[in-house]
Structures are given as C-alpha cells and as structure tokens.
Amino acid sequence: MDRLVLQGGHRLEGQIPISGAKNAALPLMCAALLTRETLTLSRLPHLADIRTLSELLQQHGTRLTCEKAGTPLNGGETLSLTAQDITSTTAPYDIVRRMRASILVLGPLLAREGEATVSLPGGCAIGNRPIDLHLKGFQELGAEIDLQEGYVRARAPGGRLKGGTVHFPMVSVGATENILMAATLAEGTTIIENAAREPEIADLAHCLNKMGARISGIGTEMIIVEGVERLHGAEHAVMPDRIEAASYAVAAAMTRGEIELVGHNLRIVMTGSLDVLKDAGIGFRETGNGVVCRLAHGRIHGINVVTQPYPGFPTDMQAQIMAMMTLCEGASVITETIFENRFMHVPELSRMGADITIHGSTATVRGVKKLLGAPVMATDLRASMSLVLAGLAAEGETTINRIYHLDRGYEGLELKLGACGAQIRRETEPA
Ligand code: EPZ
C-alpha cells in the first residue's frame, strides 16, 4: 500500500487548479444509463472512484471513450459514455462494495429498463449509511422492491415508473439524486419534497435538462419533474470540487502561505464553507483566474461549527476544519450531525499533539502552539485530508499510511501541493 511522507513547516505559495467535483461526476456518469445516445462529460477528475464507476457502467453495457486524457493540472478528462443497449441490469457486490455511490445506478436502470438488481452497498468507515430513503422513494414512484441475499431487486410494474410525490423525512443527497434521475422517464409528474440542495444536485439537474428532461425547482427543496418518453445525448462540464477547494484554502491558512485556487465561480461553489472559513481567519480575494486564499491577520480564530445539509457547513469539510482548529487561538467546538462515526481523524491528530476531547457528536478542540510530525493512519477520505493538512503545518516528518483513501477523492494531491512548495512524496510500501 502507498503512503505519503511530508516534511512540515513550509509555507505554501502558488496556484492550485481545482478539479471537477467527484460528487458531481459520479451521478452524472450514472445519468448516461438514461439514454441510448452519447453523454459527453468534460472536466472529470482522474480518481479511483471514477474508474470504479466506469467499470460498473461498462458491465451494464455502456461504451466509454476517452476524448481527452486528463491530468490533475490540465482541466481533467473528457469521457463519452454511450449506453445504447443495457446488457445487464445487475450491479454486482464486488464492485458496489468498493464504492457505495454505485447505488446511483439503481434509479437510471429502473427508469430505463423497468427493473434493476443492485447489491446493497453496506456501511463504510464513517457510518452505517442505509439506503431506506432511496427505496421508499422508488416505491412512491410505483416500484416493487424486494431485498434478497444482500441485493435490492426493484421492478416497475408494466415496465415504467409512475410519477408521484416523494417526501424525504430527512435530507439525503444520494436519495435525491437517485429519485431525480428515475423521475425523468416516469409517466407523469413527480414532486420531490425536502430534496437535498447540494450544488452537485443542481449540476446533475442541469445536465438532465440538456438531455431533454423537464426539471424545475433546481437548487430548492422542492423539485418538480415532468416525465418524458426518452432522453437524448448531451455535453456537460462537471462543476468544480467545492470540498477540494475549501480543503486547499485551509492548507494555505495552516502553513501561513498564500494559494490561488484556479477555477470557475469558486466563491459561489464554496458557499456553505465560506462563512466558516472566514470566521476562522481565512481571507479570500477573487482574481480573474479564481480565488486567492491566505490567513488574513496571521491568527487562526477558534470557532463553533455544526455540520448541516447545504447551504450549511458541509460534513465533508468537518475533518479539515478540525485540523485547522488544532492551531487556533483559544478553543473551538465542532459538532457532526450528518454521520454517526466521522471523528476517526481525532486520535490520529492527537498523536500529532492536538488537544481534542469528544463528547458524543461534539469535539472540543483547544488550540496548541504547534503540531509535531508523526506516523499516522488514514481511515477515510476526508480524515486522510485532515492528516495531510496537519502534516503540512507540523514540525518534522509525518508519514500517512493507507492513502488509497485519499486517492478516491483528491486528484494529484502531491503534485498540486508540491507545486506550491510542500515537501511531500509518495512511497510505495513493499507488498
Ligand atoms: C453524499 O453521500 C456524498 N457522497 C458524501 O460525500 C457526503 O458526505 C454526503 O452526501 C452528505 O453531504 C457522494 O455524493 C458520492 P446522504 P450520501 O444520503 O448521498 C442517512 C465524501 O467524502 N441516510 O446525504 O450517501 C445517511 O446515513 C462523501 O465525498 C439514511 O438514513 O449521503 C447519513 O447519515 C462521504 N437513509 C445522512 O442520511 C438513506 O436512505 C446523509 O446521507 C440515505 C441516507
């Protein structure tokens, strides 16, 4: 397994191009299943999750053609996806277990073929992550759902879903995306109430409308979809990754450097994180290319933050803001409300000298003067990034093991940080 070795204490200065958003790219790729024609996606990040989903879509019969090879520094990959014929409506366990977002093929397959058999994703490090809201939503659209031997078997009587009203008792990004995609081909109108409002969902809806869907209320908690007979091909550029951008803004602040995040509409894209990052002391200045980030007055302010669905502070930034708060003046209280086990970075940060105490879903972080480099273990994607951030700011050497977690969500991390002066290298551990 690979590991990262960092020598901390170097100011980061330079530009970091922000890649396409992983959490927009994954549902967008699944949308290709909704049409026989070609969906061309550009600005795709080169990540393990994208490769895993490509493998899954191919086994459903999708033909993928790389139109432009992507590198972390050249604006990403352009991929054409053509699901002319669906050769299998089964999503097998050995792929789904590697990436739970595979569950997003369920809605498109059910809408296109009238049936789908998808392995239950199972939990992951950060929580149980059930899919009950997805399944209840499909039942509201007329689907019959059976759970057998670890698989969801879904069927639309008569081969086509019926529009209906889907009310989510709690906000769910994936369930909103799954129902939204399925509703585009349902017979009649679907109303999604208490829909998630993450920007990645709006990006998906805009792409679906380019494909001929009739979606209104995009970006609001009530989305209305008028079902159509079929969708056609389209071209779409994936939105920039707001979590990657905010993570590198924290890197600039923690190393007392200055980084220009290069990308389109980053300030808008970073809504949700921006206010909290500013309260913590980060200054943002827009340029023609993107946004320059630095610690505004040389001090990290202790803040109190609660993770919330969009437009609140994103749970995917919780581990990263905690890394920053380990060096704050005073103390910070961070409450995680979305996932039940998303503090696994805490013991690792503590090994680097952080002073953090946990009471249930709340962590109290008392600022320390400095962090000390240490060997640490990555446990999940965003926890891994918090360890990188701590390692960049710490005195001495930090080794981060199991960085396959990082490779799932941060394209070319050591390239991008290295280009800004970070002393960081990847080592491959002998098998
Ligand atoms: C998406 O996961 C993101 N993943 C996550 O990013 C992100 O943390 C999460 O949304 C919240 O913003 C992708 O977009 C691929 P949810 P998702 O359904 O859709 C519970 C990352 O680091 N729930 O909004 O799985 C669930 O257990 C990843 O990039 C149910 O109870 O999140 C959780 O507690 C991590 N039943 C809460 O809702 C359901 O049917 C929010 O989950 C569905 C969800």
DSSP state letters, 258-300: EEEEESTTHHHHTTTTHHHHHHTTEEEEE-SSEEEEEETTS-P
Would you say 7 and 397 are in contact if contact means Cβ atoms under 8 Å apart?
yes
pTM over 0.75: yes
Question: What integer pLDDT is reported at residue 51 of this predicted model?
Answer: 93
Residue 322 has pLDDT above 90, yes or no: yes
Tell me, yes or no, if 207 is annotated catalytic.
Answer: no
Instruction: Tell me the two tokens of residue 12.
Output: 């980061």
Place of tokens 């002066």: 421
> Which atom, in ligand 1's list, is nearest to the CA of 135?
40
Long-range contacts of range 142-149, CB-CB < 8 Å, 24 or more positions apart? 142/186, 143/110, 147/120
Query: 171 C-alpha to center of ligand 1: Å?
Result: 9
Average pLDDT, integer, range 342-369: 97
With a 6 A CB cut-off, is 29 part of the ligand 1 pocket?
no
Eight-state DSSP code of residue 229: S
Question: What integer pLDDT is reported at residue 431 of this predicted model?
Answer: 64
Average pLDDT, integer, range 201-220: 98
- Taking every pair of Cα atoms in the chain, the longest distance, rounded to a whole number of angstroms, is 66
For residue range 42-71, what is the model confidence (pLDDT) as tens digits?
Answer: 999 999 999 999 999 999 999 999 998 888
Positive or negative CA dihedral for 16, 19, 22, 23?
positive
Query: 174 C-alpha to center of ligand 1: Å?
Result: 6
CA distance readout (Å), 250 to 27, 141, 300: 27, 43, 10
The whole-angstrom separation of Cα 65 and Cα 372 is 46
CA distance readout (Å), 404 to 44, 320, 344, 400: 19, 18, 16, 10
Place of tokens 């003067």: 369
For residue range 160-196, what is the model confidence (pLDDT) as tens digits?
Answer: 999 999 999 999 999 999 999 999 999 999 999 999 9
Query: 384 C-alpha to center of ligand 1: Å?
Result: 18
Query: 208 C-alpha to center of ligand 1: Å?
Result: 21
Among residues 30, 124, 293, 420, the one annotated as catalytic is 124
Ligand 1, residues 316, 343, 384: which to mutate, most atoms within 8 A of Cβ? 316
Q: How far is CA 203 from the centre of its chain?
A: 13
Positive or negative CA dihedral for 247, 248, 249, 255?
positive
Question: What integer pLDDT is reported at residue 137 of this predicted model?
Answer: 98
With a 6 A CB cut-off, is 166 part of the ligand 1 pocket?
no
Ligand 1, residues 22, 129, 145, 244: which to mutate, most atoms within 8 A of Cβ? 129
The whole-angstrom separation of Cα 143 and Cα 139 is 5
Picking from 224, 160, 218, the residue whose alpha carbon sits closest to that of residue 192 is 224
DSSP calls for 10-77: PPPEEEEEPPBPHHHHHHHHHHGGG-SSEEEEEEE---HHHHHHHHHHHHTT-EEEEEE---TTTT-E
